[in-house]
Amino acid sequence: MVQLAIAAGVTALATGLFLAPLSAQLDDQAMRRALAIAQTTAAESHLDDALESSRPSRHGPVQNAAERIRAATGAEYVVIMDRRGVRWSHTDPDEIGRHVSTDPSAVLSGQEVMQIDEGTLGRSARGKVPLRDEDGTVIGAVSVGISYESVQQRLLSTVPQLLAYAGGALAVGALAAYLVSRRLQRRTHDLAFSDISALLAEREAMLHGIREGFLALDGQGRIRLMNDEAQRLLDLRAEDTGRPLDTVLPPGRTTDVLAGRASGPDLLAVSGHRVLVANRMPTDDGGAVVTLRDRTELERLGRELDGTRGLIDALRAQDHEHANRLHTLLGLLELGLQEEAVEFVTRAVGVHRATAEQVTERIHDPLLAALLVGKATVATERGVSLRIAPATRLPDRLVDPHSLVTVLGNLVDNALDATSGQRDAHLEVEVRTEGRTAVVRVSDNGPGVPEAHHAEIFTEGWSTKEPPSHGQRGIGLALVRRLAERYGGGAEVGERPGGGAVFTVTVPDALSDEPPAAQPAPHQGEAGEGTATGRAAGTEGARRANDTTEAGR
């Protein structure tokens, strides 16, 4: 109904705007026609001589000539006057010899006049021209009138046709309004405007209330809509709506996944320190809808479960090993071989104590030291020899030890996975400082990384290993690179002489300016305590490795 009312209003307005200039055009045409008849009459030959040589009468030559012209042109009247304004011709013979009813001074002065005026014959469109003799002297004037009622009749005669056109236009508008209304109802599922407004409010509440990130892109890759969770997960702002995705996110796998350059379900991406799972669904207009799930906690729980299983396997293996050693010790004692028993115990516990002492002497940060002791225990159980490089030196002045624990834990885990199960497997860990920059280098004698994949290995989701049962791989090295780049450093991989891979990570400004704390000197005769400390550090280090390298392997 609103559309129909608008169509009717527009039609009426258009009709009125058309009629207004039409009336003025018809008036102008009538005046010009009257003027043209007057000019033709004034140019009539011998009319000036008749005006000068005769007297005004109803049967005179001037009256006869004027009536002939009036009958031929269909004018309302043709009046010829002399210089005094006295009529020499008129449609009413009784008016001949009388003064004209309007002021003739303008036309008698030589001007041509067009006007619509009231006269003795009523309202008419008039044209007046001066009448000149052979010398060009004004000797009179010719006034021609066309009845204004005839103009109105012409205007009124066009109204039915105009109304017919307007009615046709209104009918077309009504049909178009009906078709548009039906199409709109189908597209909106017969929802009223109030229902659509309510749905929009509900959609906004739902989008900003769910705990999954939501991102809508248009056909040009611009952000059309995003909720609060997507802003939090991707570190975006509300002002980024409407901007291209490639301009608000840094280049990398996350941007490629969101833009559709990487396809597949449940794609992994890393944004900052978060592990995200993205799913992208294209829309009919060329855009897409992307949902994001934060799997950081899930990955952490999965890694903790894996680490717990590994720790249980290690403890089970240690229990079996300790049982064998106790049986051996019991046999030596029953055979009376006390010296051999003492030598056996000393050699058995010396390995653990030597590893713990070697780590704590070179690495003074307790978190990193505990991590390496625990990783050494895990490496031993997996048949891998973990060595500490001679150049390893790290004071207890780390600004963010947790980030360095994540870096070192992920690198060691990848080296263990690469070397486990092969003969003479070993890896070497080097942690040192260059000024305030921390350098972490882990090398192994595994299969190595092909040179063609040196750049891809630090990309989220890229891995040469089979995925675990709880999720996907390709997260650990990506986090290592992100942590290093966050501090202005970097991560790179190279080939180890003799075969294998060397991972090097630099973390600038990793050390504080505070002087290192004084380390207490160890007391003599603490072999038993050193052994217990090594075992406790191994267990604690394994637990911390689970907590800090949740995205490794």
At 531 the pLDDT is 35
CA nearest 267: which of 278, 281, 258? Answer: 278
As beta bridge partners, residue 388 has: 429
Going by the DSSP 8-state scheme, the letter that residue 457 receives in this structure is G
Provide the CB-side half-sphere exposure for 454 (13 A, CA). 11
User: Which backbone phi and psi does 77 adopt, to 5 degrees?
Assistant: -155, 155
Count of Cβ atoms closer than 10 Å to residue 282 Cβ: 12
Q: Which pLDDT value is given to residue 523?
A: 39
Give residue 459's identity as a one-letter amino acid code: T
Residue numbers in the chain where pLDDT is lower than 70: 118-123, 148-156, 272-273, 297-311, 313-318, 320-321, 347-355, 460-475, 513-553
In angstroms, the CA 308 to CA 322 distance is 20
Strand 426-434 to 385-388 pairing: parallel
- The token duo for 170 is 């209104």
3-state SS, residue 494: strand
What was the pLDDT predicted at 130?
93
Smallest CA-to-CA distance from 437 within 484, 390, 481 is with 484
pLDDT of residue 150: 55
Is residue 442 within 8 Å of 429, Cβ to Cβ? yes
Instruction: Supply the pLDDT for residue 350.
Output: 55
**What is the tally of helices (H) and strands (E) in the chain?**
15, 14
What is the 8-class DSSP label of residue 509?
Answer: T
Task: Check if the beta carbon of residue 409 is closer than 8 Å to that of residue 304.
Answer: no
Q: Which residues pair with 267 in a beta bridge?
A: 278
Terminal-residue alpha carbon distance, the chain: 67
The C-alpha torsion from 331 through 335 and 336 to 337, rounded to 10°, is -70
Give the DSSP per-residue string, 119-177: ETTEEEEEEEEEEE-TT--EEEEEEEEEEHHHHHHHHHHHHHHHHHHHHHHHHHHHHHH
515-544 pLDDT, tens digit each? 544 444 443 333 333 333 333 344 444 444
CA dihedral (204, 207, 210, 216) in degrees, to 10, reads: -170
Crossing angle of helices 401-419 and 476-486, in 10° steps, is 150
Residue 145 token pair: 């009138």
What is the three-class DSSP state of 389?
coil
Phi, psi of 98 (to 5 degrees): -105, 160
C-alpha span between 535 and 314 (Å, rounded): 12
Q: Is 234 exposed, middle or buried (0-12, 13-18, 19+ CB in 10 A)?
A: buried
The structural domains of the chain, ordered by start, are 2-154 (3.30.450.20), 203-294 (3.30.450.20), 349-548 (3.30.565.10)
